[in-house]
């Protein structure tokens, strides 16, 4: 048995948003070929599930890595207020010139959440549908998880 025990806290959040996958660098035909029905000009939507994983010391006084109230308020302010029941293309500035795929959504969400002051953000996972999910860990590469 080597290595200390590590504890992570996982919390899931839900938001609904619309998007359209379309690149201004491609022609209409190319957009349709690459993005298929996700290129529909009127957009479409998903019920996204965001999974946030945090690590840190478990405070012996509270038994917690981070107080859930603090985490929930942070995610509400940083993510849900801006994304829930919004158009990712129209309402989120980061996607004005970036295709709002769930890969890019992961990167945007990770950068917003990594400033959480009470614990270390290990990674996030975004589930776009029950069959598609994407993960992003920033610089926390697999080999660095020691």
Partner 1 sequence: MTRKIEFSASHLYHNPGFSPEENRRIFGKCNNPHGHGHNYTLEVTVAGEPDPVTGMVLDLKELKEILEREVMQRMDHRHLNYEVPELAGQIPTSENIARVIWQLLEPKITHGKLHRVRLYESPDLFADCYRNGAGGADKP
**Could you say whether residue 61 binds partner 1 (CB under 8 A)?**
yes
Residues of span 11-40 touching partner 1 by CB under 8 A: 11-13
Are 7 and 65 in contact by the 8 Å Cβ rule? The answer is: yes
Catalytic residue status for 128: yes
Tokens at 5, concatenated: 């025990």
Stretch that binds partner 1, among 32-40, 52-60, 73-81, 94-102 (CB under 8 A): 52-60
Are 136 and 123 in contact by the 8 Å Cβ rule? The answer is: yes
Tell me which residue has tokens 């993005």.
Answer: 35
Catalytic residue status for 111: no
Longest CA pairwise span in the chain (Å): 60
- Of the residues 22, 85, 103, 106, which is catalytic? 85
97, 101, 103, 104: CA torsion to nearest 10: 20
Catalytic residue status for 14: no
Give the catalytic positions in this structure: 38, 85, 128
Contact positions toward partner 1, by CB under 8 A?
A: 1-13, 53, 58, 60-65, 67-69, 122-123, 125, 135, 142, 145-146
């Amino acid at each position: 048995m080597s290595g200390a025990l590590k504890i992570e806290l996982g919390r899931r959040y839900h938001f609904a948003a619309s998007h359209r996958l379309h690149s201004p660098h491609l022609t209409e035909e190319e957009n349709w070929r690459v993005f298929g029905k996700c290129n529909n000009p009127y957009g479409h939507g998903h019920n996204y599930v965001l999974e946030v994983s945090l690590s840190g010391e478990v405070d012996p006084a509270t038994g917690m890595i981070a107080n859930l109230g603090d985490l929930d308020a942070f995610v509400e302010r940083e993510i849900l207020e801006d994304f829930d029941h919004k158009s990712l293309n129209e309402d989120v500035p980061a996607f004005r010139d970036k295709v709002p795929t769930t890969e890019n959504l992961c990167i945007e969400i990770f950068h917003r959440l990594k400033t959480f002051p009470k614990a270390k953000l290990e990674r996030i996972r975004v589930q776009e549908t029950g069959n598609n999910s994407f993960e992003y860990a920033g610089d926390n590469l697999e080999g660095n998880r020691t």
